[in-house]
A = this chain, B = another copy of it.
Amino acid sequence: MRVEVINTGTELLLGNVVNTHIAYLGKTLFPLGLRITRQVTVPDGAAIREALFDAFPRSDILIVTGGLGPTTDDITREITAEMLGLRLLEDAWVTEAISARLARRNIPYRERMRRQAFVPEGATVLRNDNGTAPGLYVPPKATPAWSTPHLFLLPGPPRELRPMFEDYALPILKEIIGAAAPDRECRIYHVVGMGESTVEEVIGLGLDARGDIEVGYCARPNEVDLRLIAPPAILDEVEPLVREVLGKHIVSQSGKSIEQVVVEKLIETSQTLSLAESCTGGFLAHRITNVPGASEIFPAGYVTYANEVKERELHVPADLLRLVGAVSEEVARAMAEGVLREAGTDFGIGVTGIAGPGGGTAEKPVGTVFIALAQKGGPTVCERATFPTDRETFKQLATQSALDMLRLRLFA
């Protein structure tokens, strides 16, 4: 089935907001055997008409996001009804749900809110448990001019769209595609520590030559995804080859992030971790604590930008800081060992470096980072790397390396 997505929103094209809908919908549709074949973003207003006109004949399932809210630039509902020749009727249940929601939150009911309760005749309301604008499912309709696809209208805010999609749109989609299990599966190998073309060279040609596997690659900072799409039996058959070639560089399969893998392993083995961050500024703690259950294994993290805080909290010797400087292997090691002792954990990580844009020297240019891993009763190791990039990518790359050092130790 051909699935298309139309995102409406001037803010998406002006660049004030990143479009996260595509990735979310792609990931959520894939297990049903559905793949987005085309995605379009258009500004608010009349452009939605042309986009619908283009997509109607080309798609079997069409998902439209945005333009359902109470403000005057939200006109997706009205244009759809007009193009399909459907009257808009007020749904008393929706009106009631909107005013009840507003009352619970002490927000005054405003007349403009009421527009959101109008539903094209024959459409099914998709409840919004996290906002006011309901979604809509409009079944296919044959008109003299065209026959329309299964049409899903969803609200723009991700925290409204996502639960609505999972709770109310997916069941309808499952009915549409029937009970048949998808015959192809997608396996993604997260690979760290190998470049994209190396990954392809070591594995791609052999798999490509088979012809029965769709092979794709995607490179991100310090990480490559190798994506194989084929019937499950074929994926099982090549799995040993993939694992033999990529070996310890495979962080996970089927989408688990490196922080998930690390936290879950710590939980499983009842070991704990503490962090001493300078240049990564709390981002490593943030990544760890994004994983549910992190509180079981992560008692304490320190963001020690100032030298005196490194001394006071992590017991890094003042002499050492003076002698070799805060950005050094010795200080990274002292931070990792200091936080391990202070927090009484099984592992301690210390990160110190120069995120930039200021602070670089000839010997230690912007992007220099030292990452140390200490283990109770085990050796402390330290790696030096240089990531000369912007501040946020630097944090991404440095924390990725730190997580990988810990991962390799945990799975050694």
Contacts and interface: CB of A to CB of B under 8 A. Distances in A.
A140 interface: no
A231 interface: no
Contact of A288 (B201, B281, B284): B281
A255 B16 contact: yes
Interface stretch (A67-75, A89-97, A367-375): A67-75
When all copies of this chain in the complex are counted, the total is: 2
Interface string A27-42: 1101000011111111
A113 interface: yes
A358 interface: yes
Given A17-B220, A39-B41, A204-B71, A305 B299 contact: yes
B282 A157 contact: no
Nearest to A50: B38
Interface stretch (A175-183, A192-200, A403-411): A192-200
Please report whether the interface of chain A is mostly helix, strand, loop or mixed according to DSSP.
mixed
A332 interface: no
Contacts of A36: 13-14, 41
A283 B281 contact: no
A331 interface: no
Contacts of A393: 159
Of the candidates A27, A208, A282, the one having the most CB atoms from chain B within 10 angstroms of its own CB is: A282
A317 interface: no
Interface residues of A, number: 104
A227 interface: yes
Nearest to A113: B197
A12 interface: yes
Given A71-B200, A295-B359, 12 more contacts: A9-B218, A13-B37, A14-B27, A19-B23, A70-B200, A113-B197, A130-B389, A281-B288, A281-B290, A282-B282, A285-B285, A295-B305
A-B CB proximity, top 8 nearest: A281-B289, A282-B285, A15-B27, A15-B26, A301-B303, A299-B306, A282-B282, A11-B218
